[in-house]
């Protein structure tokens, strides 16, 4: 899927993968996040994704100019989960809206695990 915006000269189409990549890179700038998570097809457990696969831990749903984003994250042990999640939501919403011109209706942060950082 993709989001389409009509202009006087034609239309702009932004693929959901582009939005997911923007959201993932933006979320990774937040304090307390270790990375994105994706369910491993083999054993059903969530695994930490490498930088080049961040968008696999993100689902984007677009309807006209409106966007809903589901993030699956792994946080650093010892951080206050609610505060980190709120920071991620604010940062992702701000970045996606500013870079794409789309309206972000909802961002859902699903904490799939915690890791001890060395």
Q: Write the CATH number for 109.
A: 3.30.70.1350
Task: Give a three-class secondary structure readout of 49-107.
Answer: CCHHHHHHHEEEEEECCEEEEEEEEEEECCCCHHHHHHHHHHHHHHHHHHHHCCEEEEE
How many domains does one find in the chain?
Answer: 1
pLDDT at position 50, please?
A: 82
pLDDT at position 44, please?
A: 65
- Alpha carbons 15 and 43: distance in angstroms, whole number: 30
Residues of the domain holding 70: 2-115
- The segments of the chain whose pLDDT lies below 70 read 1-2, 40-44, 117-118
State pTM to two decimals.
0.86
């Amino acid at each position: 899927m993709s989001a389409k915006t009509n202009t006087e000269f034609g239309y702009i189409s932004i693929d959901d993968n582009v939005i997911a990549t923007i959201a993932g890179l933006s979320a990774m700038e937040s304090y307390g996040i270790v990375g994105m998570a994706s369910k491993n097809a083999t054993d059903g457990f969530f695994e930490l994704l490498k930088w080049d696969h961040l968008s696999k831990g993100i689902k984007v749903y677009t309807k006209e100019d409106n966007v809903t984003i589901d993030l699956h994250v792994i946080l650093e042990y010892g951080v206050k989960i609610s505060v980190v999640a709120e920071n991620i939501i604010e940062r992702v919403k701000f970045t996606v809206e500013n870079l794409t011109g789309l309206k972000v209706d909802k961002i859902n942060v699903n904490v799939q695990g915690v890791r001890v950082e060395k």
